[in-house]
Amino acid sequence: MPTTNPHVLYIAALATLLWTTTSLTQAQTLAKPIAQANPQPLTPQPIARNLQNPWSLAFLPSGEFLVTERPGRLRVVAANGALGAPVQGVPEVAAGGQGGLLDVVVDADFASNRTLYFCFSEPGVGGNSTALARAQLARNPDRLENLRVVFSQRPKVASSAHFGCRIVEGRTAQGQPDGTLFMTLGDRFSRSQDAQTLDNHHGKVIRIHKDGSVPADNPLVQRAGALPEIWSWGHRNPQGATLAPDGKLWVHEHGPQGGDEINVPLPGRNYGWPAISYGVHYGGAKIGDGATAKAGLEQPLHYWTPSIAPSGMAFVTSERYGKDWAGNLVVASLKFGRLHRLELAQPFAGKVVRETTLLTDLGQRIRDVRQGPDGLLYVLTDQSNGQLLRLLPQAGQ
């Protein structure tokens, strides 16, 4: 008899090997499939090796790197790739499955305040949930100081999946930090229906001040019964988030079997999961009634069916790879171990008009991608001996 165990079916979905792509405008009009360009060569330059399932990367003003390892370690990696000892003071994490120590970002004023933010699977009564902490990295960067958990997803549940957990510092349209943080939160897999209700944090994007308080202009502050941190809802498992130069948040999320999405979450909007989806359940059953669109539910800017299992996302603002790269979006694929370069109708805006696959011979799951202060792209490979790689342009770029 076929298994009905959802976790077995979840793993089974990774066997899907076909790949196509389509684009959808926000006006809900299907576009023709986007032509796949020939893979463009980039040269991966190893910086650090022997990282255990690295999840996130941040850049320090000193030229060093901060890297999280999912089992619960935060490391400072020297510019020459030397791994520092695990930074002390990281709280206990619920490591296992998809859980552990996940995203990390440094404050815009890190050079003066040494503040960083990280999210992790926090154990507690009822199971675990995604939490957001702030701390200061000591001048001798061997420990965290003044640690405080400023947000915990509610409720905690017994699950090792769908934590979401990407952090983005909010900025104004003029590029100035506005004192807020966005964080993506997964639906915890077994609680997908929660993504459509507002009395919980499952399947949501939230927005808070850096001290954990709620901004007065959040969209649901005045709505009875709604949690005030919520910015948008109807998300499944968003593991990529970045800010465009105009201050707009971009997010991507894992679909089920097919239906990975890119969205530009607007305040107070519902992005549909699981009422609508371009994917199906693991095993092929319909999601709900099988609808891909319904009144009052937002359509994705772009989606992939079958899935690429996206994780990590960044805008390219430099011309290190050529002028035509500036304004492009890059997305990492866990499933195929490659990067997807998405060219948009306008720089940093509009629908996807062209897609190129990169690093197709890498042969390793890519967990995160970031643009560094030098304008180059950096990626983390997700394996027990993971690497931090710098992507060098080909000659002539």
Catalytic residues: 162
Q: Classify residue 32 as exposed, middle or buried by CB count within 10 Å of its CB (0-12, 13-18, 19+).
A: exposed
370's CB contacts (< 8 A; 6+ apart) are 57, 58, 59, 312, 314, 377, 378, 379
d(CA 233, CA 189): 15
Closest CA to 182 of 166, 160, 194, 198: 166
Closest CA to 79 of 315, 374, 330: 374
Residue 308 phi/psi, 5-degree rounding, is -105, -5
d(CA 324, CA 331): 17
How many Å from the N-terminal Cα to the C-terminal Cα in the chain?
Answer: 55
Nearest 10 degrees: CA dihedral of 159, 185, 240, 189?
A: 30
d(CA 142, CA 138): 7
Q: Which amino acid is at 391?
A: L
213's CB contacts (< 8 A; 6+ apart) are none
> CB-side exposure of 342: number of CA atoms within 13 Å?
26
